[in-house]
Amino acid sequence: MSIKKIGVLGAGSMGGGIAHLAAARGFEVVLCDVEQRFVEGAVKRIAGFMDKSVVKQKMTVDEKEAALKRITITTNMEDFASVDLVIEAIFEDLEIKKSAFEKLDKICEPHTIFGSNTSSMSITALAAATNRPDKVVGLHFFNPPLIMRLVEVIRGYYTSDETVKLASEVSQGMGKTPVVVQKDTPGFIVNRIMMPQFLEAIRIVEEGIATPADIDTAVKLGLNYPMGPFELMDFTGVEISVHVADYLFNESRDRKWNAPEPLKALVRAGRLGKKTGAGWYDYK
């Protein structure tokens, strides 16, 4: 089996970025979200990014137009009936994702592979909502998908070797480097390493040891990271860190994953990072 047509469920920054990657690399794409304005907005953003690539001579005008023609937008999941792979990139809520996978299972052909872009949730639990658990796999792209080179390919309990192979090949076809997570564990690889750094950075602020700005500077200059923890939380969305920390805590009951109060306070205040104009920092 080869993957030629990809469905992307969710037209936000991640879903839109994945659709952009797939179309630019020659895959046919069906991009779906709950409202027409979301999918139209995603295509407008994709076209804008491609315009910049044309200016930088990274693609031609003809290549841009051909890529955009490979994207079909829809608000109807029934339009995924003919795809070879669905990549789910919707809100990080396990029950919402399971409901989507249950619907997809009834719509898609038996050969269709289901991939989830979840950053930490159980692939096995998602697969249990389908009658094809061997064809369900984690496909965790990183934000922003156009720039970040990694894709975590996560095995669920029943994920077949063939599914892992095809998911890895698709990742490579999009110009990414796949790493296989052999065991379906909360947080996978990157978030399991990154979240303790986020939480410890917040505790350093709580203890009055240093400010977010000084911690970011220390991490960038001392560890050679491109962004500090507070900058990165603001970039990806502060609420994402709360969701991931809560999920890790609920799965393990280990207090090291307990989200510190300042993190939860930001979410309550609607300070979700750059997208709202304020997070750990103000952007207005």
For 153-199, what is each residue's pLDDT tens digit? 999 999 999 999 999 999 999 999 999 999 999 999 999 999 999 99
Candidates 79, 81, 68; CA nearest to 40 is: 68
Closest CA to 169 of 178, 180, 182, 181: 178
Tokens of 254: 């280990």
Q: What is the pLDDT of residue 162?
A: 98
Which pTM value belongs to this model? 0.91
Catalytic, 99? Answer: no
2 is catalytic: no
117, 191, 231, 239: the active-site residue: 191
State which H helix or E strand residue 232 sits in: helix 229-236
Confidence check: pLDDT of 22 > 90: yes
* Catalytic residue from among 117, 122, 140, 241: 140
**Predicted local distance difference test score (pLDDT) of residue 92:** 86
The span from the CA of 140 to the CA of 32, in Å, is: 18
Tokens of residue 226, six digits = 């491109």
140 is catalytic: yes
Helix or strand (DSSP H, E) at 88: strand 85-88
Distance CA 39, CA 262 (A): 34
The pair of structure tokens assigned to 56 is 């930088």
Our answer to whether residue 191 is catalytic in this structure is yes
Task: Report which of 35, 27, 10 is spatially closest to residue 104, judged by C-alpha positions.
Answer: 10
Q: With contact defined as beta carbons under 8 Å apart, do 228 and 197 qualify?
A: no
Q: Are 126 and 136 in contact (CB under 8 A)?
A: yes
| Cα 138 off chain centre by | 10
Catalytic-role residue among 28, 88, 92, 152: 152
pLDDT digits (tens, 9 = 90+) for 102-144: 999 999 999 999 999 998 899 999 999 999 999 999 999 998 8
Per the prediction, the chain carries an average pLDDT of: 96
Q: What is the rounded average pLDDT of the residues 226-234?
A: 96
Q: Could you tell me the strand order of the sheet in which 113-116 lies?
A: 71-74, 28-32, 5-9, 85-88, 113-116, 136-141, 150-155, 177-181
Q: Which residues partner with 76 through β-bridges?
A: none
Please report the pLDDT score of residue 267 as a whole number: 97
